[in-house]
Amino acid sequence: MSTAARRMPNLLHQPRQKYSAKVTEVDGIRFASKMEAAYFDHLKILQRAGEVESFTCQPKFELQPAYVDAAGKKVRPIHYVADFLVRYPDGSEKVIDVKGTPTAVFLLKKKMFGFVFRHDRLVCVTKTRGGWREWT
């Protein structure tokens, strides 16, 4: 193999996902992991049972608006994209992030989210042998 060929990226090779998550598609929707897709199926079951009124995939929240700093440099906004926004029949809502374990980045964004959206509840959900567990 030539040196040039070794330097060429393999266009058929998919880059490895962070934390070895496998992109999964369910009902034409792409999910970042099998666990996230499984939670989507779980939400559909809860919706059919009447325990969940509705849910949205990949809701986007602005944690900090864009601004111009003292030097005149534009600073982009900070957004947080959760995995699901779940609405319950009693009118309450939960913002869900599906993870194996809460990461340091998630915990930081949870703090920022709590400051901006004081009445919304952000929880991390993980799959266990007995079902689903919420990290609050």
Per-residue pLDDT tens digits for 24-48: 777 787 888 889 999 999 999 999 9
Domain region containing 127: 53-135
Has residue 115 been placed in a domain?
A: yes
The pLDDT value recorded for residue 6 is 55
The number of residues in the chain equals 136
How many domains is the chain built from? 1
- State the Cα angle at 67 between 64 and 71, rounded to 5°: 135
Q: What percent of the chain has pLDDT over 70?
A: 84
104 in a domain, yes or no?
A: yes
From CA 62, how far away is CA 59, in angstroms rounded?
Answer: 10
**pTM score > 0.85 for this model?**
no
C-beta of residue 98 within 8 angstroms of C-beta of residue 126: yes
Quick check: is 70 in a domain? yes
Q: Does residue 46 fall inside a structural domain?
A: no
Residue 73 has pLDDT above 90, yes or no: yes
Give CA angle at 52 (50, 53), nearest 5°. Answer: 85
Task: Give the mean model confidence (pLDDT) for residues 101-118.
Answer: 88
